[in-house]
Structure 1
Amino acid sequence: MKLNLFSKLIFTAFLAFTLSTFLYFSFGNIYSSKILNYNDFSAQFTSGIYQYRILSSYFLLGIYEFLSGLNLDYNLFKFKFLKAESEPQMYLSFYILNTFFLVLSSVMMTLITETKNLLGTQTEKILLVTVGVFVMVFSQFVIVPYDISSYFFLLLFYFFFLKYLENRSTTTLILLALLILISTFNRETSALSLAVAAILLYSKFGLKKETLLPIAVLGITFLAVYVGLRIFNDGITTNDGNLLTENFTQPKNLLGLFFWMVLFILSLILAKDRKSMQLILLFHLLSAPYLMMCLYAGIMYEIRLYIPLFLTSLLLGRTEISKFNKLT
């Protein structure tokens, strides 16, 4: 059955909404149960590395305060919590925030697959988005306010960067810089957008000013926000401690690493040709600082850390590169 763009957008948005609703309303969360109340959430997300991810926390607490004025009967939702101090209001706030951005992320993936730069049949494109949505939902056994929104900003950047490759418009470049600025206020994984930009620009132009100038603009924007947030908060924190040993010794973390490998291999399998696989490998190479920081200070069992790389790899694996003659 041939679907038009509107039908595809409705389907993928409905898919994201349905899966997210099943996740939050049909399963009790164990892993993130500690932060499902206002006081514990505020204590964790206003200190350490979390204090710099201010946009998503602002959104979540805004929803929390909005729900405070509605006088809802939360018994209606029949939530089941591991800890007695968990608040239905906080949990519902997480659901609203993450479901909203999950729907937007599914819409953005659909729009990207419908551009002329993405190759594939109608079935392949729908399945690509479906795989992305399922993986995003599955990774939310760890509930945080910034992950799903960070995927949306990453996908939004990818969409407009494809436009920039077509027109090299100054206006589009300014828009991309603005997206980097906003997404860095949300989470520092916005740096992965720089890796995407560098790969696609080099593939098209090589090491020329057409590549170096936009990367400089985007890089300076990222650094200005990244460093500025730390100066404003009187600190230069980049992580919350060394977890390297735990990541290679604890069974759960080893399972997480195995899952990372599975997703990485899947993205290579779904790539359309050898050159697309090269793009994915190069993207991971340029993302090495992020990957090393994940190994050093992240928890590998939290597979959410790999999701932005996986989503980007899915798209790179289907991006048309035949005219990018600098990559052999």
Structure 2
Amino acid sequence: MLKRNDEKINGYLFVIVLPILLFAMSYYGFESSYTRLKTSETTPDFLFSSVYAYRVIPNYLSVQMTDLMYNLINGPLSFFKDFLTKNGTPFYHGLFLMNSVFFIGCSLILDAVFKLKSTGLLLNINARRIIHLLSVFFIVITQYAPTNCDTIALFCYLAGVFLTLKYLDTRKNVFFFILIGLIAISTLVRETACLNIAFFAAVFFNIDELKKGNYQVIWKIIPLVVAFLVPYLGLRAVLVKDETTFVEGFYINRNFSSPFNLAGLIFAIIVIYFIYRLCTDEENRSVFGKYFFFSIPYLIMITLVGLFWEVRLFLPLILTGIITAYHQFKKTSEI
């Protein structure tokens, strides 16, 4: 009884308390050129223009959380007003609170994923906690570039990874149908929803089965692609304004000329290579390799319109590599 309670307390400390403290340190303990968001009293106008306008769910939540924090600071938390005002604005505090909720969601999902068909080190609970903490650290260190959409998008992505693995293990269609709905909803958050399709394809795609004329995996992937394209194109058809664009800008020249962006690229390459080396089983390396192949469109996009210095763009690939390295994959010859 005491041992069980001790495990629950330790799990609570590792999965919730420690991650949220690290997250708070990244938002309030460190400064960067991106923390000018601290001076924004209201939701910034740029979130409703350019490509950001298509991220409707984060924008809506940002407005609501900013209003909530304003009312709290001038109401129930008025005794704390001086401290809160000194360390941010209603928008920034609301951004932290909103992202904290989804960050804890990410931590809980990672904990659940690492318990699914674990192999190697993760069979030991202490080793599993270290790997979980490493994953959390990767999320935290990318928060020097805080946004209102990336943490929510990461939560949706990890939820999609969990659903894919549950479908792999149980073959219950309910997980597949939920995944379809999740991709449609998460496309309203950020375009990284397409990576859930890449992961699903990496897990189930088998070239040998295609040579035999078994195209079941193709028919499984099509609904996922449709679930992504319908809201993606629908938003761009509905939100037609002069200030909205498909991309914020093209930064490919800056990515390969700026020392900061080159440092971000080298960081991502080294980390991903290190994680690939952790994949000791042939099946795990195969899944990881296929995942990168199906993620090529995403990698091309962040090369053209993203900034390598914002390594949060590589975060889904890094976390997927860690998950892939320690998951026991079944043979996927049949769906």
Q: One fold, TM greater than 0.5?
A: yes
Q: 1:131 to 1:209 in 2, by over 3 A?
A: same
Aligned to 2:300: 292
Deviates more, 1:261-270 or 1:188-197: 261-270
Aligned to 2:190: 187
Residue 59 of structure 2: which of 52, 57, 60 is its match? 57
Q: How far, CA to CA, are the matches of 2:48 and 2:101 in structure 1?
A: 23
Residue by residue over 1:128-149, the C-alpha shift from the partner in whole angstroms, topping out at 9 and shown as x without a partner, is: 2111110111001001011111
Q: How far, CA to CA, are the matches of 1:277 and 1:139 in structure 2?
A: 26
Residue by residue over 1:60-104, the C-alpha shift from the partner in whole angstroms, topping out at 9 and shown as x without a partner, is: 221111122221343224745xxxxxx521111111011111111
Residue 221 of structure 1: which of 227, 234, 241 is its match? 227
Q: 1:215 to 1:117 in 2, by over 3 A?
A: farther
Q: How far, CA to CA, are the matches of 1:271 and 1:4 in structure 2?
A: 28
8 Å Cα contact 1:271-1:277 kept in structure 2: yes
Residue by residue over 1:178-208, the C-alpha shift from the partner in whole angstroms, topping out at 9 and shown as x without a partner, is: 1111111111100000000011112599443
Aligned to 1:75: 82
Residue 29 (structure 1) shift? 4.1
Q: How far, CA to CA, are the matches of 1:299 and 1:28 in structure 2?
A: 19
Aligned to 2:154: 151
Q: Does 1:273 align with 2:274?
A: no
Aligned to 2:110: 109
Residue 171 (structure 1) shift? 2.5
Q: How far, CA to CA, are the matches of 1:155 and 1:19 in structure 2?
A: 20
Q: Name stretches of at least 5 consecutive residues in structure 1 with no aligned partner.
A: 81-86
Identity of aligned residues (%): 24
SS of residue in 1 equivalent to 2:34 = coil
RMSD: 2.5
Aligned to 2:262: 254
Deviates more, 1:213-222 or 1:183-192: 213-222
* Aligned residue runs from structure 1 range 13-32, under 5 A: 13-32=16-35
Aligned to 1:230: 236
Q: 1:205 to 1:13 in 2, by over 3 A?
A: farther
Q: 1:124 to 1:274 in 2, by over 3 A?
A: farther
Q: How far, CA to CA, are the matches of 2:207 and 2:174 in structure 1?
A: 20
Q: How far, CA to CA, are the matches of 2:119 and 2:81 in structure 1?
A: 44
Residue 282 of structure 1: which of 275, 281, 290 is its match? 290
Residue by residue over 1:268-289, the C-alpha shift from the partner in whole angstroms, topping out at 9 and shown as x without a partner, is: 1332323322322221111011
TM-score by structure 2 length?
0.87
Residue 4 (structure 1) shift? 4.6
Q: How far, CA to CA, are the matches of 2:38 and 2:190 in structure 1?
A: 18
8 Å Cα contact 2:68-2:94 kept in structure 1: no
Residue by residue over 1:253-312, the C-alpha shift from the partner in whole angstroms, topping out at 9 and shown as x without a partner, is: 111111111221121133232332232222111101110111111111111110011111
Aligned to 1:301: 309
8 Å Cα contact 2:201-2:221 kept in structure 1: yes
Q: 1:50 to 1:178 in 2, by over 3 A?
A: same
Residue 320 of structure 1: which of 303, 310, 328 is its match? 328
Residue by residue over 1:199-251, the C-alpha shift from the partner in whole angstroms, topping out at 9 and shown as x without a partner, is: 11125994434312221111111100111111011279432222111100111
Q: 1:131 to 1:17 in 2, by over 3 A?
A: same
Q: 1:118 to 1:13 in 2, by over 3 A?
A: farther
Residue 118 (structure 1) shift? 5.4
8 Å Cα contact 2:153-2:192 kept in structure 1: yes
Q: 1:228 to 1:106 in 2, by over 3 A?
A: same
Aligned to 1:83: none
Structure 2 residue identity aligned to 1:212: I
Q: Does 1:163 align with 2:166?
A: yes
Structure 2 residue identity aligned to 1:53: R
Deviates more, 1:316-325 or 1:104-113: 316-325
Q: How far, CA to CA, are the matches of 1:91 and 1:47 in structure 2?
A: 19
Q: 1:22 to 1:169 in 2, by over 3 A?
A: same
